[in-house]
Structure 1
Amino acid sequence: MRRNLVIAIGASLALATLQPVLAQEQPPPPAPAPVAASPADYAAAIESLAGKLETAYVEPAQGQRYAAMLRANKATYIQITDPMALAKRLTDDLRAVHPDNHLRVALGSPDGGPGGGPRRMRIGPGPAPGPGPGPGPGGPRPPAIEDPKWIADGVAYIKFNMFDGAPETLATLDAFMKEHADAKAIIFDARTHRGGGPAEMNVMLPYLYAQPTRLVSMDMAQSVVDMRGDPTRGDPNMRPVSAPKGVNRREHWVTPNAETRLRDAKVFYLTSTRTGSAAEHLALAFKRTHRAILVGEHTGGANHFGGFEPLGAGLAAFIPVGRTFDPDTDWDWEGVGIQPDVAVPADQALDKALELAKG
């Protein structure tokens, strides 16, 4: 898998190996059967969780609040003998301190997250609550790109299921942009977009903007960067900027290329409640720069990125270490999604965009 920045919908991950890749979660294998641990083992796991939140959570002040709560209640937690009940209690209590639907404790393994997933970190928004887009465990995944074509006179169309950053995907996308450079309108369909990274954005957006433009900002815990390196380093589209203590901040920019014909084209971006992660990153970029009209439903609300960390005692925790946000307002879409400009049911979004494109 490519080593580049992840804007992910989650995975079985671990801070310890920080593999900065950009992909959507593959369904994890079934969690191991719960086995009760000793109070001493649970105490050590809770202290491990407190330490990780204290040093790696994307909002340092909140991380310290989480840690203080865990330590204050440790004597109560170690009396819970059912590991599944303990994981749920810890999750509920953490979210009561500060709501973050990605932060959670689950049954895990010594090697990583639920089901014994590999020890790796994916840098990008984490999993949205509930089932994500795409088929269930073991089911086939659709291709990253589908249906690049003329869909009407002067109207180009392309559907994204994922930004996987693969060379063949980037080549297909660049060819699409070049072959449709005389379009009067382009429809980007992200209704089934399950996440990924910025490589595809860095291919398509230079065709659409007339001047260098700041898209979004991304924060990551400085402690994680210090320990494992900055996964955005070397990407000229990710510019480092000053940030509060404990935070590493980059701004995602677009720089126009030499092709000018699409700079005045209408752009429509189709969304649904299944649109998540990197697709939401692009939705916010389009919306705040007024370069596209969002048509459909609010997006899925999967912003915070991070990974699963083993805690010991058969437990693991998803630790959010970063977020993507509007640099003008500091707003992010965690848990709420991004609202469309033209609200219609997802299955009517394409017809509505065609109507607007022809108008």
Structure 2
Amino acid sequence: MTPEQLRAVVNATADSVEQRYVFADLGASTAAILRANSRDGRYAGCTGPEDLAEQVTADLHDATRDLHLRLLFHEGGAVGEDDPVAQEAWWAEQARRTAGGIRRVERRGGNVGVIEIGPVLGDPERAGRAIGAALSLVADADALVLDVRGCCGGSPDGVVLLLSHLFGPEPVRLSDIESRADGTRQVWTVPVPAHRRFGAGKPVVVVVGPETFSGGEALAFDLKEQGRAVVVGRPTRGGAHPRVGLVVHPLLELTVPVARSVSLFTGRDWEGVGVQPDVLVPAGDDAFAAALEALRASGSPPSPR
């Protein structure tokens, strides 16, 4: 990359962070850091887009500690929200190759249903049939394990759709979403067919780990907050800010957090701290076995907190 191209990418990144980052003051100060670094020649030694992405991402993290705020290198070409046709095609192919994020559905002894989710839970338009089919297969199980240890993200609407199968027919208000552009938006469960709903009184355990991130964390967080599930495993990574993708170079995508989750019970979220398990499983121990043990020990769902 030429010096002019390096400056253009950094300036475009700084402008987008300043204009769209969920916290306006922090976005402005972070943008100022990037511009100062550019003037001081910090990025002059970057040999190409991949090097630049690594250096800028490190600076973004130093300034904000926000794991969703990144400059990503895409060897095959970056796709962002400014090209909705290409973005739609990319996510549709992702959903096709991963069954919308439904990795495994299983019945185990004792009529325990298991759904493993990863790497990314898709949105209802592309993954809705897969999510509905998975829940249909466990709807009459006596207990359910949701394994999100390998889930590193997901569509907020896809998370809501899956969660909607785990409550009764009446709408349930989940964590709100707060953004600079739209203020506070309430999030509620959506109607699902009765034959796909896993009964509200039956026990649910969510298995989490250090690779669980973003949408996977949202699923565990809301179920824990609502007292609908016991969370078992190890603390998650701590990324609670929904983001958008912006192309700032043909091979570079800037992901900018534009909103945050807000707990109905505490007003906080899991950003930077992760979702903390109810049952902590030491590293190296079998978290799935601990989840099954938690089911055996549970007589009824825990109370909301």
Which bracket does the TM-score occupy, shorter chain normalised? 0.7 to 0.9
User: What secondary structure does 1:215 align onto?
Assistant: coil
Q: Which runs of 5+ in 2 are unaligned?
A: 83-96, 298-305
Matches within 5 A, 1:286-325: 286-311=223-248, 317-325=254-262
Equivalent residue letter for 1:188: L
1:89 Cα deviation from its structure 2 partner:
4.8
1:343 Cα deviation from its structure 2 partner:
1.0
Aligned twin of 1:130: none
Aligned twin of 1:179: 140
1:72 Cα deviation from its structure 2 partner:
4.2
Contact between 2:79 and 2:253, CA under 8 Å: does it hold in 1?
no
The CA distance in 2 between the partners of 1:287 and 1:207, in whole Å, is: 12
CA offset digits 1:202-246 (Å, max 9, x no partner):
255344347533221223441xxxxxxxxxxxxxxxxxxxxxxxx
1:313 Cα deviation from its structure 2 partner:
10
Identify if the C-alpha distance between structure 1 residues 148 and 219 changes in structure 2 by more than 3 Å, giving closer, same or farther: same
The CA distance in 1 between the partners of 2:250 and 2:170, in whole Å, is: 54
1:73 Cα deviation from its structure 2 partner:
4.6
Normalization by structure 2: what TM-score?
0.73
1:281 Cα deviation from its structure 2 partner:
0.7
Contact between 1:325 and 1:333, CA under 8 Å: does it hold in 2?
no
Greater displacement, 113-122 / 169-178: 113-122
Identify if the C-alpha distance between structure 1 residues 189 and 100 changes in structure 2 by more than 3 Å, giving closer, same or farther: closer
Aligned twin of 2:289: 351
User: What secondary structure does 1:331 align onto?
Assistant: coil
User: What secondary structure does 1:253 align onto?
Assistant: coil
1:146 Cα deviation from its structure 2 partner:
4.9
More helix by share: 2
Equivalent residue letter for 1:215: L
User: What secondary structure does 1:284 align onto?
Assistant: helix
User: What secondary structure does 2:277 align onto?
Assistant: coil
Aligned twin of 1:193: 151
The CA distance in 2 between the partners of 1:290 and 1:118, in whole Å, is: 40
The CA distance in 2 between the partners of 1:215 and 1:93, in whole Å, is: 33
Identify if the C-alpha distance between structure 1 residues 89 and 192 changes in structure 2 by more than 3 Å, giving closer, same or farther: closer
Identify if the C-alpha distance between structure 1 residues 262 and 59 changes in structure 2 by more than 3 Å, giving closer, same or farther: same
CA offset digits 1:261-284 (Å, max 9, x no partner):
822211111112222222111111
1:212 counterpart = 2:177: no
User: What secondary structure does 1:265 align onto?
Assistant: coil
Aligned twin of 2:70: 104
Equivalent residue letter for 1:82: C
1:271 counterpart = 2:208: yes
Contact between 1:173 and 1:203, CA under 8 Å: does it hold in 2?
no
Identify if the C-alpha distance between structure 1 residues 142 and 92 changes in structure 2 by more than 3 Å, giving closer, same or farther: same
The CA distance in 1 between the partners of 2:128 and 2:99, in whole Å, is: 17
Aligned twin of 1:52: 16
User: What secondary structure does 2:291 align onto?
Assistant: helix
User: What secondary structure does 2:292 align onto?
Assistant: helix
1:342 counterpart = 2:297: no
Identify if the C-alpha distance between structure 1 residues 334 and 121 changes in structure 2 by more than 3 Å, giving closer, same or farther: farther
The CA distance in 2 between the partners of 1:264 and 1:287, in whole Å, is: 15
**Which of 145, 158, 179 lines up with 2:115 in the alignment?**
158
**Which of 149, 157, 168 lines up with 2:129 in the alignment?**
168
**Which of 170, 176, 185 lines up with 1:250 in the alignment?**
185
Identify if the C-alpha distance between structure 1 residues 350 and 98 changes in structure 2 by more than 3 Å, giving closer, same or farther: closer
The CA distance in 1 between the partners of 2:52 and 2:190, in whole Å, is: 49
CA offset digits 1:273-297 (Å, max 9, x no partner):
2222221111110111111000111
1:145 counterpart = 2:102: yes
Aligned twin of 2:75: 115
Normalization by structure 1: what TM-score?
0.63
Q: Pairwise CA RMSD of aligned residues?
A: 3.5
The CA distance in 2 between the partners of 1:147 and 1:295, in whole Å, is: 19
Aligned twin of 1:62: 26
Contact between 1:173 and 1:200, CA under 8 Å: does it hold in 2?
no
User: What secondary structure does 1:357 align onto?
Assistant: helix
Identical positions, percent: 27
The CA distance in 1 between the partners of 2:273 and 2:230, in whole Å, is: 19
Higher RCO (C-alpha under 8 Å, 6+ residues apart): 1
Contact between 2:78 and 2:250, CA under 8 Å: does it hold in 1?
no
The CA distance in 2 between the partners of 1:315 and 1:120, in whole Å, is: 10
User: What secondary structure does 1:339 align onto?
Assistant: coil
